[in-house]
Chains A and B, each alone.
Chain A
Amino acid sequence: MTVLELTNVSKSFGALQVTDDVSFSVPRGQALGIIGPNGAGKSTLFNLITGNILPDAGAITLLGRDVTRSPAMDRVRMGVGRSFQIPQPFEGLTSFENLLAAAAYGQNKREAEVADQCVAILRDTELLPKANQLAGTLSLLDRKRLELARAMATGPELLLLDEIAGGLTEGECQALVATIKGLHGRGVTIIWIEHVLHALNSVVERLLVLDFGRVIGIGEPETIMASREVREIYLGMDV
């Protein structure tokens, strides 16, 4: 069963082609990593999948349904959860309330029905001590945790994570990897954009490389990491 399929998707911002004829599909339960240099169009790809922006051409299919033009809200309800690279918390709500809103609306349930889940997610993401703190007063690290937690709270079948490991200590990074592995183990399909390659490669089964908006490689992580293009892009990086 294919969870997500992109067919010849393109997007330009003015003269800048940010997504160039991208096609790939993700089977249910897979963890796919996306790597590529800054400005390659990785986050834009997420925005296209979630419906935060619409493509100029091509088609996006979610769980067998064409969602190319559907609003972001509908896709969340179909099971797409996402984190933002630059955290976008609801600043006037507490961490707990951020999750409550996401869970109640993402899963279309009453607050009381999702409260326990939200507590469990706060615990998993190490935010429980800050449950009652306004999100606007959280540190950058905690805001990033909240991004992951809020995406999880929507009850996703497909989880899109955009650079959530940057700036973590080794211990924190391991905890994060364990959390994501836990979700993966429960059958959640994951697409993870990440520059911290050792964290990424300890989770994903498949890697996609994006450069100038084009897919320049997709396949087994070992094969991809060994390819010349990737080594050129990541030369001197933590491969």
Chain B
Amino acid sequence: MGHRITTRTRASSIAGIIAVALIAVGLILPAFASRSLIQDLFFILTMLTLAQLWNLIAGFGGMVSVGQQAFVGIGAYAMFAGVILWGWDPVPAILLGGVAAFLLAIPMAFFAFRLAGAYFAIGTWVIAEVTRLVVAQWKTLGGGTGTSLPREATADIIGVETIARLFGLRDAAARDVLAYWLALALAVATLATIYALLRSRTGLALAAVRDNDNAARSVGVDAARVKWLVFLAAATMTGLVGALIYVQTARISPDAAFSVTNWTAYVIFIAVIGGIGRLEGPILGVLVFWGLQTAFADYGSWYLLALGLLAIATMLFAPRGLWGLIHDRTGIALFPVQRRLIGAKDG
């Protein structure tokens, strides 16, 4: 019929090439980079992944959760349980984090999906708090004060020895390299999965449900199914990230692992500043956040207050974030999902 449908743009083709190059550089970076740079990048990559996942459920799915710390926390604790109780290697134990978060997400979705708008947000937060209180009763994993990964477990994590020999590093630094590679893999996998999802038929359904639930059902979209799918998938991935973060820190406590500030407030800040509902948003947002964190984190509560004000100002004056501003000026989309119809003739 002379027309075609495409999502691709010139910018997205260039972005694809740059992405591949960046991933390649990221992979070989530990050969030259300092340990502190690797640690910074670990922080950036894990926060980026958490922000992408929050953006998926809130920005693309319209489900504004403030209970993501539940999945980070339960994922981290499940990994600890695997290591301490069952003697697993910490790296494969990360998978337990994904499973645990998935299992927690089922009752959480069951309750929270009955709530609308602000009540949904509050519901997710309440469930996260309850989970924290329950986990704090788990005496073998340190109860309310927490515990550390046993030295034997951290000493012979698979791959660490090889990395140490390869780069001539001490074990602690080699562990950071391994954690960094895993963080890179998770970040890339998350971005690729979300991008593929948004470009699939399910992506259309997700947008339809977010924009108008009632109309979505009236064109045959199973709104509940789409929400469940996205919520469970995001929770599982969040659990994996949580477990990975605590493989790297090797020390856990309920207050830290279920911290609403670290795992939800910062994450929302990143998405809001960068731009909600766009894959580019969290990428830009995490860089801004990391810059602010590096420069001002020592100011404690004043810093938190400033972050909050900055987020509110963004929501008021640039509701689609920094990437929204850039997109409006230039029309650039690095990860376009819009199906554009080209060359269809009228009449």
Contact = CB atoms under 8 A, between A and B. Distances in A.
B215 A104 contact: no
Contact of B217 (A73, A128, A150, A153): A73
B218 A52 contact: yes
A51 B341 CA distance: 33
Given A90-B207, A122-B341, 16 more contacts: A90-B208, A90-B212, A92-B207, A92-B210, A92-B211, A97-B204, A102-B219, A102-B220, A104-B204, A105-B201, A106-B219, A107-B220, A119-B3, A123-B344, A123-B346, A131-B341
A115 interface: yes
Interface string A75-110: 011000010100011111110110011101111101
A91 B211 CA distance: 6
Contact of B219 (A76, A96, A129, A132): A76
A214 B169 CA distance: 84
A90 B217 CA distance: 12
A237 B287 CA distance: 64
- Give me the 4 closest cross-chain CB pairs, A-B, nearest first: A76-B220, A102-B219, A105-B220, A88-B215
Contacts of B215: 84, 88-90
B205 interface: yes
Nearest to A105: B220
B212 A101 contact: no
B339 A94 contact: yes
A84 B207 CA distance: 19
Contacts of B222: 73
A223 to B, nearest CB: 33
Interface in A117-135: 119, 122-123, 128-129, 131-132
A50 interface: yes
B5 interface: yes
B229 to A, nearest CB: 14
B207 A93 contact: yes
B214 interface: yes
Contacts of A154: 219-220
B220 A73 contact: yes
Contacts of B338: 94, 97, 132
Nearest to A118: B341
Contact of A119 (B205, B216, B219, B341): B341
10 contacts: A50-B218, A52-B217, A84-B215, A89-B215, A90-B211, A91-B212, A93-B207, A102-B220, A111-B339, A132-B340
Interface residues of B, number: 29
B204 A101 contact: yes
Interface of A: 50, 52, 71-73, 76-77, 82, 84, 88-94, 96-97, 100-102, 104-108, 110-111, 115-116, 119, 122-123, 128-129, 131-132, 150, 153-154
A15 to B, nearest CB: 25
Contacts, number: 104
Pick from A102, A105, A111, A123 the residue with the most CB of B within 10 Å.
A105
Nearest to B347: A123
Interface of B: 1, 3, 5, 201, 204-205, 207-208, 210-212, 214-223, 277, 338-341, 344, 346-347
Contacts of A96: 339-341
Contacts of B5: 115
Contacts of A92: 207, 210-211, 277
Contacts of B219: 76, 101-102, 105-106, 150, 153-154
A119 B340 CA distance: 11
A71 B217 contact: yes
A13 B217 CA distance: 22
Nearest to A106: B220
Contacts of A131: 341, 344
Nearest to B344: A119
Nearest to B60: A92
B324 to A, nearest CB: 13
A82 B87 CA distance: 59
Contacts of A89: 211-212, 215
A52 B213 CA distance: 11
A129 B346 contact: yes
A131 B338 CA distance: 11
Pick from B5, B201, B219, B340 the residue with the most CB of A within 10 Å.
B219
B220 A116 contact: no
A97 B199 CA distance: 11
Contacts of A115: 5
B340 A72 contact: no
A224 B255 CA distance: 73
